[in-house]
């Protein structure tokens, strides 16, 4: 084994260390050898792709649903022997550095993402072939962010208009011989990763039971493979409000901080998308819990110091409760 190490690295273009459409991706492939090494082929590739895969039971058999889409694919030949396999190219002993540069296409592409049954990945791969039996490979992924401030594809106009608008919904539920009215309000639909959202709940309990509000962030991942679709949902419990006794009106406000590692909403990928909702439920003993869901769009936040607390909405500071 004359090749001791093979790895590929890239340079940063911003403080995030991310790349976007139109950026130049530069780096180097490094090979460490113990002596002169004959090479048949040596190349580096840059690739952006989306892929979904999941399995379903169909009677006694298992059906695999899969699909993929390529956003770009570039290859740079570092060394290639001229006689198709005689190993005429030589790499000297020691540490060898081979630079490369790729131009990322300036078109709409989704950000890097890993979900339950699919992912969007952008990667660099180097391969050095000494012979048909001796091939060295290395691969690294680089983080990619869409240029679109609102990556919502065909839904953009509808969603952008409502990002700054107040969201409100009411539900009336009948429990036994009484009813409970729940009114939920959020300041707006759009929220950055470095912000927090206030949710106000007004509960009029005219039933004979005590009810307790609970606050959730609902995540919905949708994956599509050709004509098939599958959905993965996940509810994150943010907190629980105070119990509301019978014949009581209670107003509660909770500030929900969005986890900074939570991926932003995106709908600009034909094979997968990610959406969110704010859900408020009323915990009813021995009964079905009434619930209200309001749309929430999580937008990409700006880089902030790790210790900085999420911004709180001024609008909700003035509410009672």
Domains in the chain with CATH codes: 3-141 (2.60.40.640), 153-317 (2.60.40.640)
Strand partners, 89: 39
pLDDT digits (tens, 9 = 90+) for 105-138: 999 899 999 999 999 999 999 999 988 889 999 9
Weakest-pLDDT range from 3-7, 111-115, 161-165, 310-314: 310-314
Residue 242 CB neighbour total at 10 angstroms: 11
Which residues are CB-contacts of 29 (< 8 A; sequence separation ≥ 6)? 6, 7, 8, 44, 78, 97, 98, 100, 126
Q: Are 261 and 199 in contact (CB under 8 A)?
A: no
Q: Taking the CA of residue 30 as centre, how many other CA atoms within 13 Å lie in the half-sphere pointing to its CB?
A: 10
Rounded Cα–Cα distance for residues 174 and 290 (Å): 10
Other Cβ atoms closer than 10 A to 120: 24
pLDDT at 141 over 80: yes
- Find the radius of gyration of the CA atoms of the chain: 27
Pair of tokens at residue 81: 């022997």
Report residue 239's pLDDT band, with 50, 70 and 90 as the boundaries: confident
The pTM of the full predicted model, rounded to 2 decimals, is 0.84
- Structure confidence at residue 7 (pLDDT): 94
């Amino acid at each position: 084994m004359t090749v001791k190490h093979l790895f590929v690295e890239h340079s940063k273009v911003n403080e995030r260390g991310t790349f976007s459409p139109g950026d130049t991706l530069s780096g180097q492939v490094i090979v460490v050898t113990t002596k002169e090494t004959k090479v048949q082929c040596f190349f580096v590739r840059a690739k952006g792709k989306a892929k979904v895969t999941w399995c379903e039971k169909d009677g006694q058999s298992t059906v695999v649903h899969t699909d993929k889409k390529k956003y770009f694919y570039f290859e740079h030949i570092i060394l290639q022997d001229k006689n198709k396999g005689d190993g005429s190219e030589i790499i000297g002993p020691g540490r060898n550095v081979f630079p490369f540069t790729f131009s990322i296409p300036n078109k709409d592409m989704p950000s890097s993402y890993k979900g339950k049954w699919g992912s969007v990945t952008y990667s660099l791969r180097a391969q050095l072939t000494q012979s048909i039996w001796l091939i060295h490979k290395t691969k690294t992924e680089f983080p990619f962010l869409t240029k679109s401030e609102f990556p919502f594809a065909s839904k953009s106009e509808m969603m952008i208009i409502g990002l700054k608008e107040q969201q409100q919904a009411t539900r009336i539920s009948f429990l036994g011989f009484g009813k409970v009215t729940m009114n939920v309000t959020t300041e707006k639909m759009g929220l950055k990763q470095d912000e927090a959202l206030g949710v106000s709940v007004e509960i009029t309990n005219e039933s004979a039971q005590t009810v307790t509000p609970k606050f959730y962030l609902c995540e919905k991942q949708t994956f599509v493979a050709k004509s098939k679709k599958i959905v993965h949902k996940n509810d994150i419990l943010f907190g629980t409000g105070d119990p509301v006794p019978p014949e009581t009106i209670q107003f509660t406000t909770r500030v929900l901080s969005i986890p900074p590692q939570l991926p932003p909403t995106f709908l600009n990928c034909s094979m997968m998308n990610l959406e969110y909702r704010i859900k408020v439920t009323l915990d009813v003993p021995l009964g079905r819990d009434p619930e209200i869901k309001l749309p929430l769009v999580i937008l990409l936040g700006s880089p902030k110091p790790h210790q900085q607390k999420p911004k709180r909405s001024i609008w909700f500071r003035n509410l009672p409760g």
